[in-house]
Amino acid sequence: MGQEGEKYMLSLRRHVVATPRYEITIILSIVFIIIASYLISFDIWKTILFFGLPYIIVILLDILIIRFTRIYFPSRRIITLNLVVAISAIVQIAIFQLFYPFEFSLFLAFSSATFLRTLVYYVFMRRKPGLAILTSLNYNIIYAIMLPFVGKNYILPFIVSTTIYTVIALLILKISTVQFIKEFGEDPLWFISSFVNYLSNETKENVHHINRFFESIYDKRKAPVSTLIFWKGEKPKAIFVFPYIHPGPFGNVGGSNLTKKLRDFTGMSNLLVFHTTTTHDNNVANDKDVKKIAEVIKRSLNSQKKYEKMSDIYRFKIDGFEVLTQIFGKYAFISLLPTNNIFDDVDLESGLILRNKLSNIYEDSAIVDAHNNFDEDATPLSLKNKDINRIVERMKNIKADAPIKMGYSQRLIKGDSVGPDGIKVAVFEYKNKKMGYILVDGNNIKKGFRDKVKSSVKELLDDVEIFSTDNHIVNYDILDLNPFGSKDSWEDLIKNIRDAIKDAINNIEDVKVSMHTENVEFIMARRGQLKRMSDITKDALRRVKISIPLLTLGGFFGALLSFIYL
């Protein structure tokens, strides 16, 4: 699953309502009191007693409970929630007063306060369900205390109505999660709360909660991790890294921000982390998995077998996609390019089949998805057997026949669509021909940027290809996939690319190459799992859209009847 998976994760944000700033909530609160005063009672004392004081008290109670329990739920979110509840009650009172007395309308309306508060607090206080329900009842408890003094006749109806609305809210949450729990054995509510809080404050604690959720639903799966190291003497000049995991889903969660994490965990800045043939079905659970990749990189520095020759770059087309390949020693570098029929991500299994068949020709190989031509409607590529066989057939006679001459440079630039690894360039000189690999840290590449780069560097290089790392760090705070070049000046980006190419050309020298591969056990998503999660979420939303109006309407009539007949 490619962009469909990304869109699923991003679509969750559409259900997150951003809370206004403090100033806005305070102003809205004042407006609320004024409206309550003049539209409901035309009595300032009733306004203060029945609306102002309860509103202030419930906010203070909520803040105290939240802070005491150390649950992340910002004060402005509390104010906004209670403001919405109060306005809802005011609207109800205005309608009810057309038919019933003021006290009847007041207590009937505010008996529903627990409904929305339960839907919210039960999610964010999921690990303390008893306290969550008690907190949800704060507003109702305040009005229950008033009842013996101003509405003795409504004590029992108010209790019954409050119970009805609370049960309905819990029932809606149950309906929305039952299928997910049955399928994956995990309650998604605490994932939702951690997800929302992560978008709000990006704390390591919330990353940990989200990662733990994925760890609990993912499986143990083995996948290769390879390195292609270019040596100058005993020191690695540059290390091509090929981890067969997907660098998602977003932000710092799971394997996302893979480039920076590997740089931090290895202490090496000369890593070029390529996007291999993986999809969101190959997301890993947490940093423990990323550290395993870092350990493979470190162990690969002990490689003894090194080669001194390389081939030219070869390009050929297979049906709707292009293949770029180059041989280093007895190792094959293969990249699949979405130049004609655009695809987004490549199925892991088909990539591994290709890699396995190439083992009959080369000692080792790395299969890369260039991920360099963004299209919103692109879908993952799954290689057919005939495609794999044709690739192998075209490659079997390619030989390394010239000394490996290589230059390397990097630009750790900042940008709105650029990840922390910026731009990295490797330039190879084959006889009198210079060839460049440009790796940009981002989630795919804006359509047209590849062609612009190729035309802008043609006097520097005889052949060039651009790749993206597919780093999802760039799309966690913007409601789109944000491919490289979509929110930054192309002129500035290309200037940095040209400067990096020039630096790489200036340090071209003879190097040797080694390759190292290990099969690593990861906590990784199952094939088709994210699509199944997406389907269940969509189905749950459909059921909730039906059940909320029906249950709420039924609850309202139950509450109304309790006030009329009890």
Backbone angles phi, psi at 455, to 5 degrees: -75, -25
Tens digit of pLDDT for each residue in 435-447?
A: 999 999 999 999 9
DSSP state of 276: B
pLDDT given at position 17? 46
Using CA atoms, how far apart are residues 416 and 493, in angstroms rounded to an integer?
Answer: 11
Contact 404, 308 (CB under 8 A): yes
Using CA atoms, how far apart are residues 33 and 45, in angstroms rounded to an integer?
Answer: 12
User: What is the SS3 string spanning 404-425?
Assistant: CEEEEEEECCCECCECCCCEEE
The residues of the chain scoring below 50 in pLDDT are: 1-2, 7-8, 10, 12-17, 476-478
pLDDT given at position 249? 83
Backbone angles phi, psi at 369, to 5 degrees: -95, 115
pLDDT given at position 454? 95
Nearest to 454 by CA among 441, 466, 446: 466
Using CA atoms, how far apart are residues 198 and 517, in angstroms rounded to an integer?
Answer: 35
Angle (CA) 74-76-77 rounded to 5° is 65
pLDDT given at position 123? 85
Contact 87, 31 (CB under 8 A): no
Using CA atoms, how far apart are residues 203 and 215, in angstroms rounded to an integer?
Answer: 18
* Token reading at 498: 């040209």
Using CA atoms, how far apart are residues 524 and 510, in angstroms rounded to an integer?
Answer: 39
pLDDT given at position 478? 43
pLDDT given at position 51? 82
* Token reading at 508: 């071209």
Q: pTM of this prediction? A: 0.81
Using CA atoms, how far apart are residues 263 and 269, in angstroms rounded to an integer?
Answer: 6
Distance, CA of 360 to chain centre = 38
- Which helix (H) or strand (E) covers residue 389, if one does? helix 385-395
pLDDT given at position 180? 77
Contact 529, 2 (CB under 8 A): no
pLDDT given at position 187? 72
DSSP state of 98: T
Q: Which amino acid is at 227?
A: T
DSSP 3-state of 444: coil
Beta-bridged to residue 484, according to DSSP, are 445
Contact 347, 279 (CB under 8 A): yes
Contact 1, 9 (CB under 8 A): no
User: What is the SS3 string spanning 1-26?
Assistant: CCHHHHHHHHHHHHHCCCCCCHHHHH
